[in-house]
């Protein structure tokens, strides 16, 4: 599971500069993020390029065990707008493991290839809402629900992802449980998941190895 941690660490780093930005006052038209100092960029120095990004036509890095990657559109002028935009790339059978965003819903638009996507409703029935999307298809994942994505078919898959938060958060289910530091007691996890304690400890050791 070390690959899970590496993948989601990459996702988090892609979003870090946006997450650390500042919300603007309602008395301002915008607050362009300034990487060199806290607060908003001086409006007198703001240009059209502060609202522009070029690069989503280039694929994200998929050289990881899950054969999937994310590239965020880092747009300084998006600061305070409650939005994040990213490109997701999947090699054939590439996947993003089950995870959730505690602070945002997500909308996915397939640009190329085919994507299996699904989310699970909360207790009591844990209903699974899954669907295979093709080019031009759009799917919404409600805020806070566990979901997954997987490239299907023989071709690469490209997806445009948008969330309605500047800092949606990413909690990967398996790494969040078995990769917690300090570790969660293995006896407890063995009972909770009805697993042999040795299997739990093996998962814990693999998660950060």
Residues forming the annotated binding site for oxalate? 101, 106
Q: Choose between 21 and 132: higher pLDDT.
A: 132
The verdict on residue 74 lying in a domain is yes
**Binding region for Mn(2+):** 99, 101, 106, 147
**Which residue segment(s) compose the domain that 53 sits in?**
2-178
Which positions make up the binding site?
99, 101, 106, 147
Of residues 35 and 64, the one with the higher pLDDT is 64
Flag whether 17 is in a domain.
yes
| The predicted structure's pLDDT at residue 38 | 79
Instruction: Give the pLDDT of residue 21.
Output: 54
pLDDT at 207: 79
Three-class secondary structure of residue 29 per DSSP: coil
Whether residue 185 is contained in a domain is answered as no
Residue 28's pLDDT is 82
Is 35 part of a structural domain of the chain?
A: yes
Q: Is the pLDDT of residue 182 over 80?
A: yes
Overall average pLDDT of the 14-26 stretch: 54
Look at 19-28, 102-111, 155-164 and tell me which has the smallest mean pLDDT: 19-28
CB 73 within 8 A of CB 147: no
Q: CATH number of the domain that 83 lies in?
A: 2.60.120.10
- 93-141 residue pLDDT tens: 999 999 999 999 999 999 999 999 999 999 999 999 999 999 999 999 9
Number of independent structural domains in the chain: 1
28 is a domain residue: yes
Cβ atoms 168, 104 nearer than 8 A:
yes
Q: Compute the distance between CA of residue 72 and CA of residue 85 in angstroms, rounded to an integer.
A: 6
Q: What order do you get walking across the sheet with 138-141 strand by strand?
A: 68-72, 84-90, 157-163, 106-112, 138-141
Judged against a pLDDT cut of 70, whether residue 47 lies above it is answered with: yes
Its pTM stands at 0.87
Nearest to 147 by CA among 126, 118, 121: 118
The answer to whether position 200 is within a domain reads: no
Residue 203 lies in a domain: no
Q: For residue 93, is it within any domain?
A: yes
Place of tokens 């031009």: 136
């Amino acid at each position: 599971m070390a690959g899970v941690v590496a993948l989601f660490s990459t996702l988090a780093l892609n979003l870090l500069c946006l997450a650390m930005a500042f919300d603007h006052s309602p008395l301002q038209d915008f607050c362009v993020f300034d990487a060199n100092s806290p607060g908003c960029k001086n409006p007198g120095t703001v240009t059209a390029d502060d609202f522009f990004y070029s690069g989503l036509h280039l694929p994200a890095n998929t050289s990881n065990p899950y054969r999937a990657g994310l590239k965020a559109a880092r747009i300084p002028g998006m600061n305070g707008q409650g939005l994040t935009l990213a490109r997701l790339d999947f090699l054939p059978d590439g996947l993003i493991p089950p995870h959730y965003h505690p602070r945002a819903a997500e909308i996915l638009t397939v640009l190329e290839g085919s994507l299996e996507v699904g989310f699970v409703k909360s207790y009591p029935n844990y209903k699974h809402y899954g669907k295979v999307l093709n080019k031009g298809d759009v799917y919404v994942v409600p805020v806070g629900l566990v979901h997954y994505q997987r490239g299907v078919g023989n071709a690469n898959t490209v997806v445009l992802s948008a969330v309605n938060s500047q800092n949606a958060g990413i909690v990967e289910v398996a790494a969040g449980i078995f990769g917690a530091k300090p570790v969660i007691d293995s006896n407890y996890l063995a009972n909770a998941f009805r697993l042999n304690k040795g299997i739990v400890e093996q998962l814990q050791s693999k998660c950060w190895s």
